[in-house]
Structure 1
Amino acid sequence: MRDNIPVTFVFDDPADAPISSDQALLDRIRATLIGANFTVDGVEEVVGAEAAAALHRDLLAPAEFALESAAPDGLAGLIRVYLLAQPVSAGQLPIGAAEDHLAAGLLEPVPGKMTGHDGYALLRARVDLRPYAVMDASGTVDLFVASDLGGVQIAADRPLRRDHVVGIGPATTNLAQLTPRDRVGRALDLGVGMGVQTMHLLAHVDHVVATDISERALAFARFNLLINAAALGLDPANLEARVELRRGDLLEPVRGETFDLIVSNPPFVITPRRDDEGAADQYTYRDGGRPGDRLVEDLIRGLGEVLAPDGIAVMLGNWEIHEQDASWHSRLESWPGDEVDLWVIQRERARPIEYADMWLRDAQENRELTSWREQFARYLDDFTDRQVDSVGMGMLLLHRPGSEPAANELRRPIRRFETLEHQLEQPLGARIRDAFSADDWLRAHRDADLSDETFVVAGDVTEERHLRPGDEHPTAMLLRQGGGFRRTFPESTELAAFVSVCDGELTAGQIIAALSGLLEIEDAVLGASLLRDVRDLVALGFLVPAWT
């Protein structure tokens, strides 16, 4: 952790970010980092798998302990200064690294002309610089990502700076795993931050537009793209050929354009508003400056305008659940236009006290007791005044069908709301694309059309039957997905019988006719019931049209 030395800065000043104007300097820095094995695998080799994993949870002590017995080489020095935010001497870093890192604004001298045991000047990190790895067709690609120092890396009595540029965390990896990775022409990274989602997108997107309201965030993103230019296949002299960095609020910078894919981890945190507040009073990385959940609402209402036909938007968000709401998704249902499908997965639900505590701790605002008490009271007063019962947290997925929906009921936009609080398989991007493709297929097929189709059970689906000891017949039957969203679907006797013979040979109509005679249920009645279930099972990925 850094020493408690006063820090002053100008709010959202891009000059207060790593320097990206000298490509030769950035190339030397990258070569030095690679040469020192400052990679995901290299760090794990030094501190061990458990300590490396703990670093992702902001637990520094295991890595600190591991370094006590590690060789005092340049890699150990890089881990100390950037991941643990400990002062190091220039002599503890790889040869030549100190001068270059100082020139790029990654390091700064510790005030007071202090020196280490080796007589070299002591240096400290100005930023968090850490290795990151992505996979492409050729294998592992080693990258480096700079961001502001996190809460556990700064002085114990200081909160984060208001223009904080957040680093790699659970939300970062979650969004990356949710994103479909089909090859597309144009993508939008809305709220680019330090740029890691754009780095992922470049592996399968021809051109990316990356936007943010923060000048500092855009400066960090530019630095990260350019220091990784060779690994990402970018031409530093013509960055705009693949990536455009634009400043602006939400969809303002891209009005009139359309994108095949949109990814966003926007500043969705619900924050009590004050009449006298300005931008410098807001944590720009998480607070969009709007009341309640208005920012998420504005995005859901507006994303359809910038989605190309067959385009998908994947975003994380929070939304309010009011005391008078009939369900947790009552308000969400009215937000999107008819031109898009909306699918929301609620992963967690927090009551006001829990929510306030979570986000005050996130910015280290709990470090000063008086301010923390005032902020906590403002949160609870705001939720009470607006009758907020709780806050939902999760994934919001939108899809613009490839053709305009017709007026009949079958062609109405999809509105799917699920609560899935259990562990999901990762990554989920391909599953999300498959689900929207299934919706498109179902949109084009009435129940009569489904009768003529053949189906197979998805490869990860099993059946559970629950019986009391000694009973001949089950009291409950369930279909269970072993992968993907890992849902369960309750089965009736009729549906269990139907699914058991879905091997791609018989059409749904043929199976229904056979079951009708066997179960002595009128064909039309049984068909209406089963085809409703078949539609749901295809939409949720339990059944797949045999031809696919």
Structure 2
Amino acid sequence: MTFSSSASPEFAAVPDAPASGDVVLLDALAAELERARFDYDGIEAFLGREEFAALDRDQTVPARRVIAREFQNPTPNPLAVFLSLFLLGDEVNAALVGDAFPTLGVEGLEELRLIEWTDFGVRSTVDLRPFASDTTEIWVASDLGSSQSSGALRTDYVLGIGQASLTLARFVNREPVQHALDLGTGCGIQTFHLLEHSERVTATDISDRALAYTRFNVLLNRRTWGLEPRDLKRGGRLHLVKGDMLKPVAGERFDLVVTNPPFVITPRVPGRDVYTYRDGGRPGDRLVGELIRDVPTVLAPHGNVYMLANWEISGEGEDLSQMDWRERPQEWVAAARSAGHDLDAWFIQRDQANGYEYAETWLRDAAEARDPQLYADRYGQYLDDFAARSVAGVGFGLVWLRARGGAVDRFEEVLHPLEEPIGPAFAAAVERADQAAQWDVTHALQDQFFAIPEDVTEERHQRPGSEHPSVILLRQGSGFRRSTILTSEAAGFVSACDGELSAGVLAQAIATLSPDIAEEDEPAFIDNLLAQIEHLFLMGFLHVTHG
């Protein structure tokens, strides 16, 4: 097959990255992958259920056994070739590759920069695998991982779709927006989701290679989003822009910003290369602070930011869990507000690590443990860096910001598993916060009618022989899956919540029926009870039927 060629658009021909200048080639590749059923169902059917599950756990031996048997056949299934090349990183006989890609052939794969020649045959230069979202299944290319290549990762490594990327994608509210920003696009995972509900998307990165991968992935799957190459331009459906953080989009306004920024804390060592996919080039956690301070400048009115971040935790003593992790996040939000930005903020700490654990995590991530001396040097640099700033540990979590202000100012730790995706439950929680903020202004809480959501259950615990329970709990079965201990008066209120009586009427009835509450103390009792009910509403244990 002969393929057409033309002048390469921006990021279509970046060295050491897939080529995306020829859409005919990309369409041919997509057709080959589809024909061979290079998707989750097709791969599972070929390998077998247990072998597929093992491969999903990065255990390759069962898959290699199936593939080795398949290669004994005169005409092996093309999936055996695809898996060997793109997922396992093996060298494969060029004739087998040509047979598996009858349209593209080895020549077409070379032109796309997806393979290179070896003494044995050819080897893939990329990791290429299927990815399924809630609405579609696509193919995504990224750099080969540590299990597919030897040595430490290159410093301009382009990461594939990992757990952190998925966590962020499942956090975002997917309501339609006009203009969205994917800040630090990497291989394009957030852009793929944004294209499904945004009229226009701008994707930025400091790395030419990352933008090349994003362009390749988007055009490989262009029919999923109805894209043409001409749509990839300023003012088009997708605009790819190179630059550091917010600099390339200064002066623009976005309804939605989604970012998994390069927030990993890395010791600043003169002459040492940094991993651009995770290290933003600032000391400590300064990059996150700068982003939170400056991102309001690119937000449209009521624009939202969804991001992942980490923050340093400082303090004395051995118990990291007793230190106030909120200090840095609150400092950053205060700086943004001091700069004149009305900003709602919600930080959810999902995990924390001490300095030793943090160093070990990110040294493993870059495969630097393969060089013992390098590993020891880097480990020591981490410990010295943390000690210089009296950092005891690092917290990690979800961050939401909104260009509005006045309704949400929340910093909480939620360490237990959440429902996935958490995005719908989080959006509902923001809506409740907005509603409660209006009550505080209008004093309308007492006029609301509450009921109990279907996923909320009650638990009562008491000693054997006791007349009354000593602990009454509410639990959520979905969303944030919270639990909370009720006071006896709050338990009485919740048990009567059927949407028939207003909160004020219920609170007054409980006060009147409580033998220990004197008449003159009833107003204070009712105020306290209604404050508890508002908290239960904000946490999702109650919902409003009308009011």
Q: What residue number does 1:165 align with?
A: 158
Q: What residue number does 1:290 align with?
A: 282
1: CA distance, partners of 2:295 / 2:268: 25
2: CA distance, partners of 1:326 / 1:238: 50
2: CA distance, partners of 1:272 / 1:334: 22
Q: What residue number does 1:216 align with?
A: 209
1: CA distance, partners of 2:445 / 2:346: 23
| 1:17 aligned counterpart, secondary structure | coil
Q: What residue number does 1:105 align with?
A: 113
Quote how far apart the aligned CAs of 1:183 are: 1.2
- Contact kept, 8 Å, 2:507 with 2:530, in 1: the verdict is no
Counterpart pick for 1:76 among 72, 77, 80: 80
Q: What residue number does 2:319 align with?
A: none
1:85-96 paired onto structure 2 within 5 Å: 85-93=89-97, 94=100, 95-96=102-103
User: What 5-or-longer segments of structure 1 have no aligned partner?
Assistant: 1-12, 115-121, 406-411
Quote how far apart the aligned CAs of 1:53 are: 4.1
| 1:327 aligned counterpart, secondary structure | coil
2: CA distance, partners of 1:302 / 1:332: 14
Quote how far apart the aligned CAs of 1:56 are: 4.2
Q: What residue number does 1:441 align with?
A: 435
- Contact kept, 8 Å, 2:347 with 2:410, in 1: the verdict is yes
Residues 306-336 of structure 1, C-alpha deviations (whole Å, 9 max, x = no match): 2223322111111100015961111211212
- Contact kept, 8 Å, 2:231 with 2:238, in 1: the verdict is no
1: CA distance, partners of 2:165 / 2:394: 21
Quote how far apart the aligned CAs of 1:205 are: 1.0
| 1:471 aligned counterpart, secondary structure | coil
- Contact kept, 8 Å, 2:158 with 2:277, in 1: the verdict is yes
Cα RMSD for the two superposed structures? 1.8
- Contact kept, 8 Å, 1:46 with 1:67, in 2: the verdict is no
TM-score by length of 1: 0.89
2: CA distance, partners of 1:502 / 1:362: 50
User: Quick check: 257-266 or 214-223, which moved more?
Assistant: 257-266
Give yes or no for the alignment of 1:201 onto 2:194: yes
- Contact kept, 8 Å, 2:407 with 2:434, in 1: the verdict is no
**AA at the equivalent of 1:538:** F
CA 1:22–1:439 in structure 2 vs 1: closer, same or farther (change >3 Å)?
same
| 1:135 aligned counterpart, secondary structure | coil
Q: What residue number does 1:391 align with?
A: 394
Q: What residue number does 1:344 align with?
A: 347
2: CA distance, partners of 1:547 / 1:50: 51
Counterpart pick for 1:176 among 161, 164, 169: 169
Q: What residue number does 2:543 align with?
A: 544
Q: What residue number does 1:427 align with?
A: 421
CA 1:49–1:535 in structure 2 vs 1: closer, same or farther (change >3 Å)?
farther
User: Quick check: 48-57 or 32-41, which moved more?
Assistant: 48-57
2: CA distance, partners of 1:533 / 1:66: 60
- Contact kept, 8 Å, 1:451 with 1:509, in 2: the verdict is yes
1:229-240 paired onto structure 2 within 5 Å: 229-240=222-233
**AA at the equivalent of 1:101:** L
User: Quick check: 34-43 or 85-94, which moved more?
Assistant: 85-94
Q: What residue number does 2:364 align with?
A: 361
Q: What residue number does 1:244 align with?
A: 239
Residues 499-546 of structure 1, C-alpha deviations (whole Å, 9 max, x = no match): 112222111001011101111433312221122122222222221121
- Contact kept, 8 Å, 1:18 with 1:105, in 2: the verdict is yes
1: CA distance, partners of 2:25 / 2:268: 43
| 2:444 aligned counterpart, secondary structure | helix
| 1:372 aligned counterpart, secondary structure | helix
| 1:153 aligned counterpart, secondary structure | coil
| 1:444 aligned counterpart, secondary structure | helix
Quote how far apart the aligned CAs of 1:250 are: 1.0
Quote how far apart the aligned CAs of 1:67 are: 2.7
1:378-417 paired onto structure 2 within 5 Å: 378-401=381-404, 412-417=406-411
**AA at the equivalent of 2:513:** L
1:252-263 paired onto structure 2 within 5 Å: 252-263=247-258
Quote how far apart the aligned CAs of 1:105 are: 0.3
CA 1:50–1:298 in structure 2 vs 1: closer, same or farther (change >3 Å)?
farther
After TM superposition, what 4+ stretches of structure 1 lie above 4 angstroms from structure 2?
none
2: CA distance, partners of 1:17 / 1:284: 15
2: CA distance, partners of 1:53 / 1:308: 44
User: Quick check: 265-274 or 62-71, which moved more?
Assistant: 62-71
Q: What residue number does 2:292 align with?
A: 300
**AA at the equivalent of 1:254:** V
- Contact kept, 8 Å, 1:348 with 1:394, in 2: the verdict is yes
- Contact kept, 8 Å, 1:399 with 1:436, in 2: the verdict is no
CA 1:161–1:276 in structure 2 vs 1: closer, same or farther (change >3 Å)?
closer
| 1:151 aligned counterpart, secondary structure | coil
Give yes or no for the alignment of 1:481 onto 2:476: yes
Quote how far apart the aligned CAs of 1:216 are: 0.6
1:56-67 paired onto structure 2 within 5 Å: 56-67=56-67
| 1:234 aligned counterpart, secondary structure | coil
- Contact kept, 8 Å, 2:232 with 2:240, in 1: the verdict is no
Residues 130-158 of structure 1, C-alpha deviations (whole Å, 9 max, x = no match): 1112333xxxx331111000011102xx1
The sequence identity of aligned pairs, in percent, is 45
- Contact kept, 8 Å, 2:185 with 2:191, in 1: the verdict is yes
Quote how far apart the aligned CAs of 1:54 are: 4.0
Quote how far apart the aligned CAs of 1:27 are: 0.4
**AA at the equivalent of 1:21:** G
2: CA distance, partners of 1:261 / 1:363: 31
